[in-house]
Amino acid sequence: MGTRFAAPASAGAPLGDGASVPVLVIGTGYGGAVAALRLAQAGVPVEMVEMGMSWDTPGSDGRIFPKVTSPDHRAYWLRTRTKAPVSNFFGFPIDKDVPRFTGVLDAEEFAGITVYQGRGVGGGSLVNGGMAVTPKRERFGSILPSVDAAEMYDTYYPRANAALGVGSIDPVWFETAPCYQYARVGRKHAQRSGFAWTFVPDIYDWDYMKAEQAGTVTRSALDGQVMYGNDAGKKSLVRTYLSQALATGRVNITPLHRVTTVSPAPGGGYVVRMEQINTAGDVVATKNVTAGKVFFAAGSVGTSKLLVKLKATGSLPLLNSEVGKGWGDNGNVMCGRANHMWDATGTLQSTIPCSGIDNWAAGGAFAEVAPLPTGIETYASLYLSITNTSKRAEFSWNAAANRVDLSWQTAWKQDSITMAKTIFDKINSKEGTIYRTDLFGVYKQWQDGLTYHPLGGAVLNKATDNYGRLQGYPGLYVIDGALIPGNTTVNPFVTITALAERNIERIVAADL
């Protein structure tokens, strides 16, 4: 039975100014968590720094995280107004003012796109829907062409799935569970239009989900918790890789620290400069730490931005010209359909999706049947599509503004919309239904301004060697989603985890 969510507090004292450590891992998401655990198991002490908080203390409402329908200061990373992906309801805007706080979800805005990312110990595992999908093997060559598919599917995908605690919904229970009525409606419509509908594995504790439905435990997925964190049933990294890493006694996590510079140290290794922040985002201290080896695991955007800045500003000038390139959005677009009154989707909806529509071979789209957990009957079906788009953007240093820019263009999403329409135009035609136009703005059928799945920016075997070693700097590694060039054909975190498992095994064997 699932236990209440509890993030690991830092295993020891926060990292001190002037400290010298064998290994520093920047970030506590999937890649960083894998690196920390496997290094610690090999006997190496590891310090991890995390920009976000350690989410281990309930608020005044008794919950660690807020609900999707009632975001508060805990919901967003240093914003004063929420920025929900579904921004409108029945045409009315639903975003609201919130106090500025180091909340769990970052809606980072670039020209042309908003990138949603997790902030806190556990990274993106805190805020995703948990869909743990291994890509079909025949598609792997298009995802990571320089990686041996056989070793990934024989060794590293199974290792990642086991360590992440991946499981699947009970298909018998699914047929009658009120909280998945919306998914059954999605199945009916997909299959009536001739599409392949499939269950999708997940990292939720499915026994806990059944108990939530039965009313015998505190509800989390059945009480609107997902995008701003989940208190109980979800097996985030906090409950898997990170708890194992901390249990070795060789890993320490320092939250609310933001790395600003990495540069070669005179006596070998690297000087890492970082800012300690408070929950209002104010810098309260600056620290210099020397590390023998540094793993960049700040996520696709965080790692790419940092490397681009360090190359351009002269801290790491030997980084090659591939740094910052090959960034993509995993082809993410969202849409909603307005169903007929006889196709009610349910007032109680689990926030954890469990199924998808696969039209990749014919139309270049895979769509997860997503919840719209408002607590009222909406007669709406919501979908997040992953599409086979080839559009790739580049991060670059904007010296005048002292920031990193991204060259993404919103117009590029038209390819993704066209691919997703191969599914939903056909379903609408068959069912006599229409697209909802009230969810993403006024008269807007598609949410084309976001991604949940940032990938690339420090691509494997281009910006790095074939195991994530940064060119020109022995002891510097990239081990997160920045390595993957823009698309995984499915939700990406299992692939990020499996690739990290592959790379760290080689690094431990060859470099330590």
Task: Give the three-class secondary structure for 422.
Answer: helix
Task: Clarify whether 453 is annotated catalytic.
Answer: yes
Q: Where are the alpha helices (DSSP H) in 198-240?
A: 206-214
CA gap 459, 468 in Å, rounded:
8
Catalytic residue among 108, 212, 368, 501: 368
CA gap 180, 343 in Å, rounded:
13
CA gap 33, 238 in Å, rounded:
9
CA gap 356, 135 in Å, rounded:
13
CA-closest candidate to residue 7, choices 56, 52, 48, 49: 56
CA gap 297, 304 in Å, rounded:
10
Task: Clarify whether 368 is annotated catalytic.
Answer: yes
350 and 371 Cβ atoms separated by less than 8 Å: yes
CA gap 203, 206 in Å, rounded:
9
Angle between helices 181-192 and 413-431 (to 10 degrees): 90
Residue 278 token pair: 């408070």
Catalytic residue among 394, 453, 501, 505: 453
3-state secondary structure 37-93: HHHHHCCCCEEEECCCCCCCCCCCCCCCCCCCCCCCCCCEECCCECCCCCCEECCEE
Cα maximum dimension of the chain: 72
**Which residues participate in catalysis according to the annotation?**
368, 453
